[in-house]
Amino acid sequence: MDTASLGADPATAPRRLALLVLWCREEPWRAGELAFLPRDLRAGPLVLGRGPSRDDDPCPRLRWVRQRPGQNEPCPPLESRGLSRVQLLASTHSAGAHFDNRGRRKLLFDGAAISEQVLAAGQTVELENELVLLVTRRPAQLPALRYWSAADVQPFGRADRFGMVGESPAAWALRDELAFAAGRSVHVLLLGPSGSGKELAATTLHGLGGAGKALVARNAATLPSGLVEAELFGNVKDYPNPGMKERRGLVGAADGSTLFLDEIGELPEEQQAKLLRVLDEGGEYHRLGEDRARRSRLRLVAATNRSVARIKHDLLARLSLRVELPPFDRRPEDVVLLANHLLLRMAEEDDTLSERFTHRTAHGSFARLRPDFAASLTTGPLELGVRELTSKLWASVKRSEGEWLWSPVAAKTPAPSTRVEPASIAPEAVRSALDAHG
């Protein structure tokens, strides 16, 4: 797909250093909010702390926003009671964000208390049991939506009507690409790693297309090797083998709708070739054992996590639009939002889980994640995407005690510091070391 048609590409737009709220104990609805740091390295620090600005603040305060396409919505100051009014000073450094802790709440990096630290984009820092921040880089403003309807913009941090969760630039760019593709009568290829949400993307594309009929979906890798053609196009009764039931076939079932074939590259080339005619303008195909031609007005949405080289070149040519789904390492700020969504969905069918690990607020229901768990979801690999994240949540439920979800893997104990204060070294020890080493 020509992304130039969608306006500014968020992947190449100039980005500013920012702090993003991953987790907040007293205000969990603030996950996803961010505050920009100054562009200029020579600019002074900004205050992160509780409450609004006051005349006695040592410097200006961070301004929190909810970044949505085309606008940055201002947010109120943090109100967590565990934070000091001047908790820390944050400034721009050549290597990332510089933190200088001034308040009563400990500043933790990799589980160890620190007073001052420079963190690069992608790293997290915790104000002990109160707040977890992700250092990130963001465009000063996300491009305005061109194809995704404003009526489909969900409440901040929540799933849209198709179930997609995400407030990152990559998530919003994906929504706009899917809306663009949905408005065209062309076949689509979805590309992305396992667990990146290709079936959800197909459902979104189908829903936006307004077909009015149910989506027809099948994993191409599960089609029986000897019955691929019958499964795709259908067959008359007793053909090709006596006793076989009449099949309508996936192509016939998808007439006037969308056919989603996941793992399209797993189809043998000779079977891929048999899809070509029905994907042309006439939509013509034959059921096995039947002489007359049938027609199906379908849109094919194919998906693969493999190289496009696995797809026959003339089939690939008929998949006119390609949409690439970003892996989670390109949208880490969405993972905690997604974990909250998945846990709440799990809790709908499990009263015990709901009572222990979720809590209701005036802003909605939220999962009770421990701060180290929230941070680990952002920094750890999720090679299998949503499936792996769901497994981690169940492992956490199994391991956790009390009302907060622990990390499914026990945290490593920080190594003791080997730093020795020079003033504590006796003069005799210094002379002895100098004598011993010349």
DSSP letters spanning 175-214: HHHHHHHHTSSS-EEEE--TTS-HHHHHHHHHHHHT--S-
For the chain, the maximum distance between any two Cα atoms, rounded to a whole number of angstroms, is: 103
Give pLDDT, residue 10.
53
Is 242 part of a structural domain of the chain?
yes
Residues 322 and 334 in one domain: no
Residues 256 and 179 in one domain: yes
Residues 316 and 359 in one domain: no
Residues 284 and 341 in one domain: no
Bridge partners of 124, per DSSP, are: 134
Residues 304 and 354 in one domain: no
Residues 322 and 356 in one domain: no
Sites in the chain below the pLDDT cut of 70 = 1-12, 410-438
Q: What token pair was written down for 75?
A: 């947010």
Is 360 part of a structural domain of the chain?
yes
Is 145 part of a structural domain of the chain?
no
CB atoms within 10 A of CB 431: 10
Give pLDDT, residue 12.
64
User: Domain boundary residue among 106, 139, 172?
Assistant: 139
Is 181 part of a structural domain of the chain?
yes
Query: For the chain, how are helix, strand and coil distributed in percent, rounded to 5?
Result: 30, 25, 45
Q: The domain spanning residue 368 has which CATH number? A: 1.10.8
Residues 168 and 302 in one domain: yes
How many CA atoms lie less than 13 Å away from 8 in the CB half-sphere?
A: 15
- Look up residue 429 and give its DSSP letter: H
Angle, alpha carbons 430-431-432 (nearest 5°): 90
- Which residue matches tokens 């907040």? 24
Q: The domain spanning residue 87 has which CATH number? A: 2.60.200.20
User: Domain boundary residue among 281, 301, 326?
Assistant: 326
User: Domain boundary residue among 326, 346, 367?
Assistant: 326
Q: How far apart are CA 178 and CA 29, in angstroms?
A: 27
Measuring CA to CA, which residue among 13, 61, 12, 9 is closest to residue 35?
Answer: 61
Q: How far apart are CA 267 and CA 104, in angstroms?
A: 61
Give pLDDT, residue 418.
40
- Which residue matches tokens 């190594």? 415
Is 422 part of a structural domain of the chain?
no
Give pLDDT, residue 428.
59
pTM over 0.85: yes
Q: The domain spanning residue 268 has which CATH number? A: 3.40.50.300
Residues 264 and 351 in one domain: no
Q: How far apart are CA 282 and CA 271, in angstroms?
A: 19
Angle, alpha carbons 390-394-400 (nearest 5°): 135
Give pLDDT, residue 217.
97
Q: How many structural domains are present in the chain?
A: 3
- H helix count then E strand count, the chain: 12, 21
Give pLDDT, residue 380.
75
Is 410 part of a structural domain of the chain?
no
Is 1 part of a structural domain of the chain?
no
Residues 126 and 218 in one domain: no
Give pLDDT, residue 71.
96
Residues 107 and 221 in one domain: no
* Structural domain containing residue 36: 9-139
Give pLDDT, residue 434.
65
Give pLDDT, residue 431.
64
Is 307 part of a structural domain of the chain?
yes
Residues 384 and 318 in one domain: no
Residues 17 and 132 in one domain: yes
